[in-house]
Each structure stands twice: as C-alpha cells, then as structure tokens.
Amino acid sequence: MKKRDLVTKLSVGVLAFGMVVAAGCSKQESVSVDKKVVAKTIHWKMVTTWPKNFPGLGTGANNVAKLINKMSGGRLQVKVYGAKELVPAFEVFDAVSRGTAEMGHGAAYYWKGKNEAIQFFSTVPFGLTAQEMNGWLYHGGGLKLWQEIYAQYNLVPAAAGNTGVQMGGWFNKEINSLADLKGLKMRIPGLGGEAFKRAGGTPVNLPGGELYTALQTGALDATEWVGPYNDLAFGFYKVAKYYYYPGWHEPGTTLEAIINKKAFEALPEDLQEIVRAACKIVNQDMLAEYTARNNAALKTLINEHKVQLRAFPDDVLKELRKLSDEVVAELAVKDDTAKRIYSSLKTYREQVNDWHEVSEKAFMRARSLK
C-alpha cells in the first residue's frame, strides 16, 4: 500500500511539474510570437495626385489603404498622403519609382512624359468604357503589358478605380462648331488633350486642386475634371455657365495604384495577394459609387445652381473622333512597345464591340423604346 501510494504521488508530481513547464513554455512561445508579429509590421506611405479625402478619387485611395490594413491583420499598414502633403501631385510616379513612398494613386496619362504609350492604360478618346477596360486588363492581356512597361521604372501597376464615362467639360460659351474650340485654353489631359490641340485649342494639364482658381482668374477658358459627383464638390458651377456631354476624351478612365517594385517583392506572398485584392476591390467599388451618385449631383447642378446642360453637336463629335483616331494611330507606330499595346487594345476593342452590338447596345436601345 505504501509503495502504491508513493508511485501515485510521484506520478501526480511529475504530471503537475509537466503542466507547469508546459504552461511556461506556452507563455514564452506566446511572447515570442507576439514579439515576432510586432517586429514584422510593415509601414508604407501612399502618395496621391488627389486633394486629401476628395470624394471618389481621394476616398478611393483611402479605401485601398484601409482594406490592406484590415485584410493583413495590421501586418501591412499604409498611410495615405494627399497631393502636396508629401510630394506634388504630378511627382507621384517619380516618388514611388525612387522609393520615397512605397505606393501611389493616380492616373497613367499624367506620366506621358516618361513614355507616351503609358497613356493607353488610363483612357483613349472614343475608346473603351469602364467595363470594357476591365475586360482588356484582366482577361485581354492588357495588365501583362502594363506590368511589363512599368517594370522599367521599378514599379508594379494595378487598376484601382474607374470613373465611368466622364463629362465633356465646363465652358463659358456655347460650342456650336469646331471653330468654337479654337484658341480656348482648356484643362484636358492625355490623348484627348492632343486631339483638342489639333482642333485649335490649347490643352493645359493642371491638378484638380488648382482648377477652380484657374477658371476664376481666366487662366483657363474651360476645364474638364470628372463628372457631376466630383464637379459639384469643386464648385465649378460658380465660375462656368455651360456643362457639356459626353466625355468623348475619357469614356472609362482607369485610375491606378503604383507600387514600388522592390518594396512589393520584399513582401511575403500572402501580403502581395492582399495588395492586389485590395486594388481590385476598389477598382470595382469606385465605379459603383460614381454610377450611384452622378445623377443626383447632376440634378443638383441643374435644379439648384441653374447650370445649363448642353450636348456637343454631332458634327463636333465626328471631327473630334477623326482627330483622336489620328493621334492614337500616330502614337501606335512610335516604337515597338506602343505598337504592341495598341495592337492588343485594338484587337480587343473590335471583338468586344461586336459582342456589345447584340448585348449592351441592343439592350439599351430596347430599354429606351416607348
């Protein structure tokens, strides 16, 4: 009996000692893991071309950062800086390329000085709508070409927003013929700006935060920005009388997230996928937001602020289409890179246009029947 009691006590003692040791190890392991997590937290800066927290564009950049922060469980934290907070609006590309910031948000046509072919990845006059642009990028080979050209600048691009079809712009005189565009100083970027120049106008590229003052002081005669949702926020109705449509120059403008390539490749694979996924989510969500908000803003501009809505005459649009085709065709033969990108885009546009004749366009016509 004594021997059995002794064995039992020894067994209980060993078990208790083991539990204490295990608990200690578990505690130490937890502390070790916690320290590891803290040490692994990565902090990125995102610089943007937009005014801080500007509706749609600026908040879209904010949403990319929020999603990355949440989906990574705080392992990758991104802080957003508006235009001029860290770098000027049009220096975002260079800042991210150099590594001054790990991430940026803007639009590819702002960087045409680096390589004119880059503009194909934002928008082409009379080109692809938002839905068509997404199809080309994700399933038509566009994204692969985009990644290839940006790699030369130590960058990784991703679609991170789309405005949908934009408005044609704000004018202080009516546009009844192509002659009415001659001599006008208008803020209009990208390939659309080149077509406007051939129509006799003077294209000016200014960041959004400077447009109201430029119109007010007469430094600009006209401007385009985005559409009713954003244009109402900037108060253009106070300094321009006529609001023209459609946005022939920007039928579906893709906004981009640009990521420093070295910083991106230094991330573990799961965080790389989180960054890509966050951009893709915002790319879809921003388009949904503009679709939902633009008409209410347009009604406010017309009904409360007495803005005069005008359609560009068909003759003007036909001439602008002709000039735009010339600009795009000339760019397409400048070098091998531009040629390959344009060839991919053109082939895709022809295919998707054939399909839309019996789908989107046919449905829109049917829905309009009275």
Residue in this structure with the two tokens 């927003």, named with its chain if needed? 161
Is 39 a residue whose pLDDT tops 90? no
Collapsing DSSP states into helix, strand and coil, what is residue 229? helix
Strands (E), 144-231: 155-162, 169-171, 185-187, 202-204, 222-223
The share of the chain scoring above pLDDT 90, in percent, equals 89
pLDDT of residue 76: 98
Residue with tokens 């692809």: 128
Phi, psi at residue 243, to the nearest 5°?
A: -120, 115
Is the per-residue pLDDT at 28 higher than 90?
Answer: no
Bridge partner residues of 157 (DSSP): 258
- Give 198: exposed, middle or buried? Use CB within 10 Å, 0-12, 13-18, 19+: middle
Domains of the chain: residue spans and CATH: 38-165+252-290 (3.40.190.170), 169-249+294-336 (3.40.190.10)
Work out the average pLDDT over 90-110: 98
Distance in angstroms (rounded) separating the CA atoms of residues 183 and 171: 13
Residue 302 CA to chain centroid, in angstroms?
28
Going by C-alpha positions, the residue among 308, 309, 307, 312 that lies closest to residue 176 is: 312
Q: Is the pLDDT of residue 51 over 90?
A: yes
- pLDDT digit string (tens) for 129-146? 999 999 999 999 999 999
Q: In the predicted model, what is the mean pLDDT of residues 227-245? A: 97
Helix (H, G, I), strand (E, B) or coil at 166: coil
The per-residue pLDDT of the chain, averaged, comes to 91
Three-class DSSP category at 207: coil
Q: Is 147 left (phi over 0), alpha (psi -120 to 50) or beta?
A: alpha
- Assign 303 a pLDDT band (cuts: 50, 70, 90): very high
pLDDT in the model for residue 40: 82
pLDDT value of position 301: 98
What is the mean pLDDT of the segment spanning 43-55?
Answer: 97
Confidence of residue 361 (pLDDT cuts 50, 70, 90): very high
pTM summary value: 0.87
302, containing H or E segment: helix 269-303
Q: Are 337 and 149 in contact (CB under 8 A)?
A: yes
Count Cβ atoms within 10 A of the Cβ of residue 206 and give its class: 0-12 exposed, 13-18 middle, 19 or more buried. Answer: middle
Mean pLDDT (whole number) for 86-113: 97
Q: What's the mean pLDDT in 150-164?
A: 98
> What backbone torsions phi and psi does residue 183 show, to the nearest 5 degrees?
85, -5
What pLDDT is recorded for position 12?
Answer: 40
Look at 247 and 37; give whichever has higher pLDDT.
247
Cβ atoms of 125 and 194 closer than 8 Å: no
Pairing of the two strands 155-162 and 254-260: antiparallel
Mean per-residue pLDDT, 188-204: 97
Least confident of 18-32, 177-191, 231-245, 297-311: 18-32
CB atoms within 10 A of CB 127: 24
CB 120 within 8 A of CB 230: no
